[in-house]
């Protein structure tokens, strides 16, 4: 039985929805099984019955949100590569293919935009080292595909440099997603309350500049060290 699958109704769904709201607001480590079952109005033993353990419930929440995002990323990247027919894809369009699927899922989720972004940001910021195996395999595919496409868009950069730059981009994205409330507080409101589309546009400009760094004049500027190879 696949314990990470979540039905469209019933007790299992109630537990997942209770857990995801609490994880988004308070973080993964601060939420107990008792907190989740209390919010779901269910017996504390229900988590073990449906998911095997608290970790199983966490895996179900993560898989429920990240899998459709990753699936759409591949669909969008495939479409870009067909449209550009072997040519280099503009970096902004590659970033759009990577980030836009989160907007799609925000609109499908029962969570508010704010809670959705906080939840997904926390998944990577707090649970990145404890991803379910199915998600680890997904991200191996995602990284390989996006690095391969970016290698054409960023001629002169070796794969290891592209991987690191993509890693920094993902880190910035995750931090921004789960720390918007903090930014509003420390900026005393100057940051405003932008729509997700405005934030996406700002992020794309920022990330594209970081990925292009050192290539403006056609010369790659990278840290010296052993050059990695990437098996596509």
Q: By mean pLDDT, which of 74-78, 89-93, 221-225 is the weakest?
A: 221-225
The beta-carbon contacts of 26-34 under 8 Å, at least 24 apart in sequence, are 27/122, 27/126, 28/58, 28/122, 28/126, 28/127, 29/126, 33/57
Residue 10 has pLDDT above 90, yes or no: no
CATH number belonging to domain 65-212: 1.10.357.10
- The pLDDT assigned to 208 comes to 96
Domain ranges of the chain: 65-212
pLDDT for 139-178, tens place per residue?
A: 999 999 999 999 999 998 999 999 999 999 988 988 888 8
The Cα 143–Cα 138 span in angstroms is 9
Per-residue pLDDT averaged across 46-66, rounded?
Answer: 90
Residue 218 has pLDDT above 60, yes or no: no
Give pTM, 2 decimals: 0.81
Pick from 124, 137, 173, 157: nearest CA to 230? 157
The Cα 128–Cα 158 span in angstroms is 25
- The pLDDT assigned to 65 comes to 86
């Amino acid at each position: 039985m696949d314990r990470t699958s979540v039905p469209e109704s019933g007790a299992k769904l109630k537990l997942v929805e209770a857990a995801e709201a609490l994880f988004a607001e308070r973080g993964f480590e601060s939420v107990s099984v008792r907190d989740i079952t209390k919010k779901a109005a269910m017996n504390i033993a229900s988590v073990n019955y449906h998911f095997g353990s608290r970790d199983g419930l966490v895996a179900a929440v993560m898989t429920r949100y990240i899998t459709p995002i990753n699936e759409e990323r591949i669909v969008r990247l495939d479409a870009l590569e067909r449209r550009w027919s072997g040519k280099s894809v503009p970096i902004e369009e590659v970033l759009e293919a990577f980030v836009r699927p989160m907007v799609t899922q925000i609109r499908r989720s029962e969570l508010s935009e704010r809670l959705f972004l906080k939840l997904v940001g926390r998944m990577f910021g707090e649970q990145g080292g404890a991803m379910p195996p199915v998600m680890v395999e997904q991200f191996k595919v995602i990284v390989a595909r996006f690095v391969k496409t970016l290698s054409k868009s960023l001629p002169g950069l070796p794969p290891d440099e592209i991987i690191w730059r993509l890693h920094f981009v993902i880190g910035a994205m995750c931090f921004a997603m789960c720390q918007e409330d903090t930014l509003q507080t420390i900026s005393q409101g100057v940051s405003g309350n932008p729509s997700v589309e405005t934030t996406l546009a700002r992020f794309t400009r920022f990330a594209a500049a970081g990925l292009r760094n050192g290539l403006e004049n056609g010369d790659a500027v990278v840290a010296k060290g052993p050059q990695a190879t990437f098996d596509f």
